[in-house]
Structure 1
Amino acid sequence: MHRPAARSLLIALATLSAPSALALDVAGPAPTASTAATVALPSPQQVFAIPPAMRDMLRTQVINRGYSREQHLQALVEMIFDRHGMDLQYDADATLTVSEIWQQRRANCLAFTLMFVALAREAGIQARVQEVGQVVSWYQDQDQGLVYTVGHVNAGVGFGGRFATVDLDRNVLYDRRGPQPISQARALAHFYNNRGAERMASGDLAGARTFFSAALVQDSSFAATWNNLGVLENRSGDTGAARRALETALRLDGRQDAALNNASTLYRTLGMTAQAQSLEQRLRSVQREDPFTQYMLGAQAERAGQLDDAIRYYRQAVRLYDTAHQFHFGLARVYFLAGQLTRADRELLRAQELGGASQQARYQSKLDSLARWRAQQQARR
């Protein structure tokens, strides 16, 4: 994700939580020599604390300008991204506290959300952290790159009793439930979970355990952390603890893809074939009824040139979530590649209808290109 200019920020801040769906490593690397005592675990107060110099900038560039709340919001965005303000840079690995963001001028999406909410509240703007169960996010060209993730969080800002979602990513598609407000404890669970995932990815298993434990202290019902803890226990060689953690994740969220996959893999290594098959069957059932998974499978098939499979997956995604313009656009692409031009035209029109003003020009360009291609083909006959 690139850092957007302040003027492009949508009032509709999508933040992708760092890995909450880590895959089980059956072989498991040897634990590192690091110990939990070496881990600097920020307290909840330290996560959100605004340093004095940052508060001074906020007062000068936002609070003291005497604007309305809406103008304060725009001034806050400018302060964060403008070169005369913080000039914040995006860094996918920077799950930082607010103070660390100020010092380093970088943040990932989760850290940005926590900082944004803290600063907005300081400026008198009603703000909250929100969570979305599933998202698909497109990066670079929507025809090429996309990311599917769980544990998505963003910010909501309130005006006159109504909340708008401030979204850093123009190209994010939420699940049907959309953003839901979460408690500060749940937001902190996301933070500590991310830090733990980063530690585990670097091989620091003891440090990861410290952060996962902190996440569960904040919210013991956070299934994503139980899944990650199961991966950690397995990598540490304790398959019994791994099984208990993964089974806890599934009790909390029986439809979580990562936990279903990880638990079934573990069951097979333990010789629990029947239990593994049962979870695998459940996983297939969940994926068949998940429009995002179907879309991802369609995109994979499209890239592999397997157009019939891509059409089938995209059609299923559209059936499950028929108001997602991106899904109709994907289906239009593969219809076009398969030579089914009438159907491609129909899906492009539907994508244009659903995309709204921000997508009108893009989809009109696609429609015009399709019309020119048709004219060229007819001229050659």
Structure 2
Amino acid sequence: MKISTKQFTLFFTISLCLLLSGCSSNQATPHVVDVDTSDLLYDEAFPEHSTFTIETEKQIYALDDEMYDFVHSHLMQKDDPFIRAKLLLTKLFYRSPEKLQYLSGANLTAQQAFHQNTANCLSLTILAYALARESNLDIKFQEVIIPEYWIREGSYNMLTGHVNLKVVGDAKTQYKIVWGRNETTIDFDPYAVKKHFPKNIISKNRVTAMYYNNKGAQALVDDELSLAYAYFKASIIQEHDFSPVWGNLGLLYKKVGLTDYAEQAYLASVKFNNKNYNAWNNLAILVTEQEKYEEATKIYSYIHKARMKNPYYHALLGEEAFYNGDYKLSINHYKKAKTMSDREHEFYFGLARSYYKLGDYKQSEYYLLKAKRYANFKDLEDKYQSKLNLLSKL
């Protein structure tokens, strides 16, 4: 089943209201041909990539004087590390009148996120990590295993992920837990915490690779191809077996006509994670264009069956239908998604948009009200309210 000829994996985190566990499939995985990744970085295709200054790991997590003052003025007076962790989250959100704002494309260093007061969830987690370390918290990064979830930016569908911080104690003192829990979580999405999705402890190297991958993906969206390559290369050097970046590199290669390299990069991506369905999908698109129809059909069948229990897959199909102007089909897909997960604000917004395009303003208003009800950020509520205000004038 073909989704989009311009689809790629982008592992930045986003605040989601997720209600279902990850989908699974008994369908046999297509055969993965082993691929040698040692020669897959093709610098000669992007000769300008070396002219860009890529943030070092130290720069990504560095604090400045104002951030040091924030930690020592607001956090260090608390002996209990778990109270300190909760205070960190509260103080981050409410340290300015505008409060902390979420923006999916804001891939920022810790310092940038602190001062701009706007970031995506990966950057917010990097910021929280940097501040937590300075406040002597013993912390670990966690990857939250959520269902595949996409957002659209222009002609691209971006697959998102989620990370948070696990606080296990105090790194420098012998503070003892006498009663109660001996760990807590710093997470910018309370819904992900409440649903108890599985989590894996991941290294700081992996998070840094995610950061570079995000920056590269945004550069690719912006058609800054040499910059995209520079960041993808930095991600691979940071963590060679990080599957999403190989899939993104494959999309970049395909965009500049290097189809053989693109195919090898997609194969590398699924080699490192054979459940990277986005990389499989991009590989299927490529082999379809190469007229390898039998191979493509096997891959499409595999990923479609694997995704059928995921409401966000149906929402993706709804978004694709909306993008292509088929608003009735979009409604059908979003209603399917809503049936599977009835508290996701974006499903209701998708329905509201499609009904609006069909001229059914009453239904559009109904679903906008639903979207506002389940919005998990104040700025999202305000966005939906502004659209309701415009509808009321029609």
- Asked if structure 1 preserves the Cα contact closer than 8 Å seen for 2:13 and 2:162, the reply is yes
Question: Counterparts in 2 of 1:68-147, with a 5 A limit?
Answer: 68-83=80-95, 87-135=99-147
Residues 284-327 of structure 1, C-alpha deviation per residue, up to 9 Å, x if partnerless?
221235465367669999x8489998887777x5xxxxxx7859
**Are the structure 2 counterparts of residues 281 and 183 from structure 1 closer, same or farther at C-alpha, using a change threshold of 3 Å?**
same
Q: Name the CA distance, whole Å, in 1 between partners of 2:258 and 2:57.
A: 30
Q: How does 1:271-290 map to 2 (within 5 A)?
A: 271-288=291-308, 290=310
Q: Which of 42, 52, 67 in structure 1 is aligned with 2:65?
A: 52
CA-CA distance at 1:86 after TM superposition: 9.8
What residue in structure 1 maps to residue 269 of structure 2?
A: 249
Deviations 1:69-96 (A, max 9, x none): 2332233223322245995433322211
Specify which of 251, 275, 293 is matched with residue 231 of structure 1: 251
SS of the residue 1:35 aligns to: helix
Contact 1:86 1:102 in 2 (8 A): no
Amino acid at match of 1:285: K
Cα drift, residue 225 of structure 1: 0.6
Structure scoring higher RCO (CA < 8 A, sep ≥ 6) equals 2
From 152, 174, 178, the counterpart of 2:162: 152
Aligned to 1:168: 188
Unaligned runs of 5+ in 2: 1-11, 16-44, 152-156, 170-176, 322-326, 348-375, 377-394
CA contact under 8 A between 1:136 and 1:148: conserved in structure 2?
no
Rg (Cα) greater in structure: 1
Conserved in 1, the CA contact under 8 Å of 2:165 and 2:187? yes
Contact 2:149/2:160 (8 A) holds in 1: no
Pairwise CA RMSD: 3.9
Q: Does the 8 Å contact 2:100/2:118 carry over to 1? A: yes
Deviation at 1:55, TM superposition (A): 0.7
Give the deviation of 1:238 after TM superposition: 0.4
Question: Is the contact between residue 150 and residue 159 of structure 2 (CA under 8 Å) also seen in structure 1?
Answer: no
Amino acid across the alignment from 2:58: Q
CA 1:46–1:298: 2 relative to 1, 3 Å: closer
Aligned length: 290
Structure 1 counterpart SS, 2:146: strand
Q: Map 1:55-66 onto structure 2 (within 5 A).
A: 55-63=68-76, 65-66=77-78
SS in 1 for 2:240: coil
The Cα offsets for residues 31-65 of structure 1, whole Å up to 9 and x where unpaired, read as x99921342201111111111221122111211x2
Pairing of 1:186-335 with structure 2 (within 5 A): 186-288=206-308, 290=310, 292-293=312-313, 304=328, 326=343
Q: Conserved in 2, the CA contact under 8 Å of 1:294 and 1:314?
A: no
- Amino acid of the residue matched to residue 43 of structure 1? T
Q: 1:80 to 1:137 in 2, by over 3 A?
A: farther
Segments of 5+ residues of structure 1 without an aligned counterpart are 1-13, 18-31, 140-146, 318-323, 331-357, 359-381
Give, in whole Å, the separation in 1 of the partners of 2:274 and 2:207.
Answer: 22
Does the 8 A contact of 1:233 with 1:239 survive in 2?
yes
> How does the TM-score come out when normalised to structure 1?
0.64
* DSSP 3-state at the match of 2:139: strand
Alignment check: 8 A CA contact 1:221 1:252 kept = yes
Deviations 1:112-167, CA, capped at 9 Å, x for gaps: 0011012112112222211123347899xxxxxxx994432122222557433333
Match of 1:43 among 50, 56, 61: 56
| Secondary structure in structure 2 of the residue aligned to 1:50 | coil
Alignment-mate amino acid for residue 145 of structure 2: G
- Once the two structures are superposed, the pairs formed by residues 344-359 of structure 1 within 5 Å of their partners are none
**Secondary structure of 2:190's aligned partner:** coil
SS of the residue 2:144 aligns to = strand
Whole-angstrom CA distance in 1 between matches of 2:239 and 2:49: 20
Paired residue secondary structure (1:59)? helix
Identity %: 25
SS in 1 for 2:183: strand
